[in-house]
Amino acid sequence: MEETPFSLLQRGKDLLSDGNPAQAAMLLERAKRMEPDKGSILEILGRAYFMTGRYEEAAGCYRNAIRVDPNNDHAHYCLGLCLLKNNDRVEAGKHFKLAWSLRPLDDYRFMALRFGAEKGC
């Protein structure tokens, strides 16, 4: 059976669901090499990196996902979480605020308000 980016993505998601983020990252890295600008691969790989404590690498994935689609609210939110892990509260707040402005979800709102967004946003 030939490996495709989609099949690797699906297997990576399954491994994440089963609590194996390191193994998922290995598969997702292969998928990324095949399709380096695929937002769905970048997001899931970012999650795998985050779950294994590789916050800088996770942030890089989310930055690339935002480069591919600047309106990706979830990537902005996750990048904010990565930045918090690296103690960059100011930059994290900017991404939480962007996520909230793109999609007014309660989680985004909470983090945006907690990390510096104006209450009137």
46/36 Cα distance (integer angstroms): 13
State residue 116's pLDDT score: 72
Give the global pTM: 0.92
| Confidence bin at 120 (pLDDT 50/70/90) | very low
36/57 Cα distance (integer angstroms): 14
The token pair that represents 69 in the structure block:
């689609």
The token pair that represents 29 in the structure block:
């890295």
| pLDDT, tens only, 17-42 | 999 999 999 999 999 999 999 999 99
Query: What's the CA dihedral at 10, 96, 106, 87 to 10 degrees?
Result: 90
**Given CA atoms 35, 79, 110, 99 in this order, what sign does their dihedral have?**
negative
Domain boundaries, the chain: 1-69, 72-121
Q: Which fold has domain 1-69?
A: 1.25.40
| pLDDT, tens only, 83-92 | 999 999 999 9
